[in-house]
Amino acid sequence: MAQKTPVAVAVIVVTFNSHGHVDGFADSLRQSQVDGPLRLVVVDNASTDGTLGRFREAIPDLNGIPTTLVDTGRNAGYAAGMNAGIAVAAESDYVLLLNPDIRLEPSTIRNLLHEARASGAGIVVPRLRDADGSLRLSMRREPSVLRAWGEALLGGRLAGRYPRLGEMETRRVLYDGIAEPDWATGAAMLISRACCSAVGRWDESFFLYSEETDFALRARDAGFPLRFTPAAEAVHFEGDSHQSRALYSLLVRNRVKLYRSRHSGASTLLFRAGVFVGVALRAADPTRRAAALALLGRTSLVAGPTS
């Protein structure tokens, strides 16, 4: 059987005060087994901890991987960073969007590419694991009113056992095979150039959270469904969105914003009510209480980090 022509992949990482992740990220990228040209694009959102400087120091250890450093000059948000990186990588056949706290296995990129080329999928995501090796539940179903209320009343993990009642796919057996969820967490996403061109830019109005949901659903609408493959794996070190009141409030409000962009006002009211009940029932937790107040418009949100 004839070998397929190697394709060019651009790894794009958006950073914000990510100095502590640079060495681990760079080391895992250096060990990646790739059959075609690979380049790295680092888009930094005005870090104050020397993130870009640390990447400059790491470049000689990247085994010759061409690296472009982009300083946005401001905390522009995750979607804006992705747009900047994709624009720089315009000649690549695929872009691999990664959080700086992702650690790739040596075969991750190669296996993502294999699945993308074999299936023709526009977006391919790997199986994610936590630092302790446990499975991260990264597959998601499209937001709906029933799922918002199911999660509010049952909790996300219990509701996720039932496709109509939960947005999170919690049936662990499904993470052992190929799947096509409506969307997946955006910590690691391989996207074809054809998909990028058809879907267009990431929506920068989200700033942070739900931007990957929006992109994946628009990709599906354009005929590029997302594909999950367990053959590719990566480790994800969790950020602090569920500990930070401002970040969790932004996450919750952006869930409603995303739903509103695709549904009627009446449906959005029901969805928003479900989301509100979900955080209000758990208001003993200060982060949930802050999110409930944010949904009521009683608090202002401070822009958080993009990693």
Res 280 pLDDT > 80? yes
**For the segment 180-226, what is each residue's pLDDT rounded down to a tens digit?**
999 999 999 999 999 999 999 999 999 889 999 999 999 999 999 99
Nearest in space to 31 (alpha carbons), one of 94, 110, 99 = 110
pLDDT score, position 175: 98
The kind and range of the H/E element at 233 are strand 226-236
Res 305 pLDDT > 90? no
CB 237 within 8 A of CB 98: no
Instruction: Give me 305's structure tokens.
Output: 């980090």
Buried b (16+ CB within 10 A) or exposed e, 38-62: bbbbbbbbebeeebbebbeebeeeb
Mean pLDDT of the chain: 92
For the chain, the C-alpha Rg in angstroms (whole number) is 19
DSSP 99-156: -TTEEE-TTHHHHHHHHHHHH--SEEEEEEE-TTSPBP--EEPPP-HHHHHHHHHH-H
pLDDT score, position 239: 57
Position 7 confidence tier, pLDDT thresholds 50, 70, 90: confident
Which residue reads 């005060």 in tokens?
17
**For the segment 144-185, what is each residue's pLDDT rounded down to a tens digit?**
999 999 999 999 999 999 999 999 999 999 999 999 999 999
Domains of the chain in sequence order: 9-236 (3.90.550.10), 245-295 (no CATH)
Position 6 confidence tier, pLDDT thresholds 50, 70, 90: confident
pLDDT score, position 242: 59
pLDDT score, position 137: 96
Note the pTM of the prediction, 2 decimals: 0.91
Q: Between β-strands 188-192 and 183-184, what pairing exists: parallel, antiparallel or unpaired?
A: unpaired
